[in-house]
Amino acid sequence: MIKKIFGTFGTRLLNAIVGFITLWLGTNFLGKEAWGIGATVLVDVSLLLIAVELLSGSGLIYFTPRKPFATLLKISYTWTFIIMGFFTLMFYLLHTFLPNIYHTFVPEGYGFEILLMVLLYSLHNFNMNILLGKERVGTQNILFIIQFMTQMISMIIYIFIFDIRSADAFVYSLITGYITVNISGFCCIMPYFKGWNKNQTSESLLSVAKEMLNFGSMIQLSTLVTMINRRISYIVIKNVFGDAEVGVYTSGTQVSEATKLIGHSIALVQFSSISNMDDRQKAANLTVTFLKLACILTAICMFVICLIPKSLFAWVFTQEFAEIKDVLISLSPGMVFLAADMVFSHYFSGINKPQYNLYGTLVGLAITIPSIIILIPMYGIIGAGISVSLTYFGTIFYQWIIFKKINKTKTKELIPTLKDFKTLINNIRLQFSSNK
């Protein structure tokens, strides 16, 4: 297990490096307005994907060992094309009869590209989730590398060979990356097409689809609320200040989110440790330890990033993006709170109580809406960063109340001790020894 975790961490670290290079290319050769349009397109795609992933998302990981591959493929592909048909019709009707509303959400000229990317992402996610369900984590990581490396290389080609200096370069590179990884991923799942009619069960497609929908609905509802939290900020920034400010804000969030590697990796170790624990109190104690470590390490990392002078950001990303540092400072508390959110979320999922993750995101949404309405017009993209920090604080405050209620944990236990670091080291050693 620990080897898979470190393999995944290494892959995500490489992705973060490639993401930084992509950010540098975008800020230096496309400009902040084009970069803002590209970011809006990507957020739109992520929002639409939530509906598709109700029956072709991460729930496939759970059902792959339990249901025939043919059944999962038929359900997921049928659902994907039904939803894509609905989205296509919705885009057409909005563009024809309500163009003002349509362009509030969809950047002009990118409707087709958004729909194409949703389709490509959906097919890719099916491949990736099937592989994870088959415990082929290494193959999944290789496909992930193929995707983001192809995307970066193609973006370089579009900029320097085809001389595309608009958001098209970024959007086309994403499409190229996902076409490539879809072909590769389909080749990886080809062996499961053998014996297509074997291992069939008496269950109808409808009954399996209903089971998958019940399983994935809570997760996707939580994801939907999270995406709404994120999307509202982009809409307000775009409508008040324009695409250029969206570009600067997006760049700041991309730099800050590099620290998510810390919380994500610690949460993975935590989840692998508590998912098979029968002792709830031990799981709670371990969660508190990981909570403190994730927050401390993320805070240190964000502190170092915030020490970088504004002139360096201007030199690396051009003067147009010098405000990245201001965004980072406003986001820094939020990144620490996000690390805590990851640990709490993995705990609640590990004890089969994912509803608390949904309730936490709803608390965050209740904070997001009034805070962005007040803060963004007053303070611009800095106000958006403050809103994010307030949102994550509200989320983890709720999660802490529930966690404390379930486990009778005392607030003083949040104070870090040397024992916490020893516990982490011992847990990693146990994971290594169990894999020998």
| pLDDT in the model for residue 194 | 79
Tell me the average pLDDT across 45-64.
83
- Give every CB contact of residue 155 below 8 A, 6+ residues apart in sequence: 22, 25, 169, 170, 173
Question: Within 10 Å of residue 98's Cβ, how many Cβ atoms?
Answer: 11
**Which residues does 344 contact at the CB level (< 8 Å), separation at least 6?**
287, 291, 357, 360, 396, 399, 400, 403
**Looking at the predicted structure, is the pLDDT value of residue 366 above 90?**
yes
- Rounded CA separation 224/265 (Å): 23
Q: Is the pLDDT of residue 400 over 70?
A: yes
Q: How confident is the model over 2-35, as pLDDT tens digits? A: 555 566 667 778 888 999 999 999 999 999 899 9
Domain boundaries, the chain: 1-203, 221-436
How far apart, in whole angstroms, are the C-alpha atoms of residue 72 and residue 61? 11
pLDDT level of residue 289 (50, 70, 90 thresholds): confident
Distance CA 407, CA 116 (A): 47
The better pLDDT of the pair 399, 129 is held by 399
- Report the mean per-residue pLDDT for the chain: 87
Q: What are phi and psi of 417, to 5 degrees?
A: -135, 165
Rounded Cα distance, 268 and 263, in Å? 9
Amino acid at 96: T
* pTM of the shown model: 0.81
Query: Which long-range contacts (C-beta less than 8 Å, at least 24 apart) are formed by 175-179?
Result: 175/113, 175/116, 175/117, 175/120, 176/150, 176/151, 177/147, 177/148, 177/150, 177/151, 178/117, 178/120, 178/121, 178/124, 178/147, 178/151, 179/120
Tell me, what's the pLDDT at 411? Answer: 85
Over residues 295-313, the pLDDT tens digits come to: 998 999 999 999 999 999 9
What is the pLDDT, as a whole number, of residue 56?
80
Distance CA 17, CA 258 (A): 9
Model pLDDT, residue 239: 86
- DSSP of 248-269: HHHHHHHHHGGGHHHHHHHHHH
- How much is the pLDDT for 316? 93
* Average pLDDT, integer, range 353-362: 89
Residue 222 has pLDDT above 60, yes or no: yes
Decide: 244 and 33 in contact? Cβ < 8 Å: yes
Give the chain's length. Answer: 436
The predicted structure's pLDDT at residue 88: 98
Query: In this predicted model, which residue has the larger pLDDT, 72 or 217?
Result: 72
**Of 42-51, 198-207, 221-230, 328-337, where does mean pLDDT reach its minimum?**
198-207
- pLDDT over threshold 60, residue 321: yes
For 89-106, write each residue's pLDDT tens digit.
999 999 999 999 999 889
Per-residue confidence band for 392, with pLDDT thresholds at 50, 70 and 90: very high
Query: Average of pLDDT values for 410-429?
Result: 73
Report whether 52 contacts 224 (CB < 8 A): no
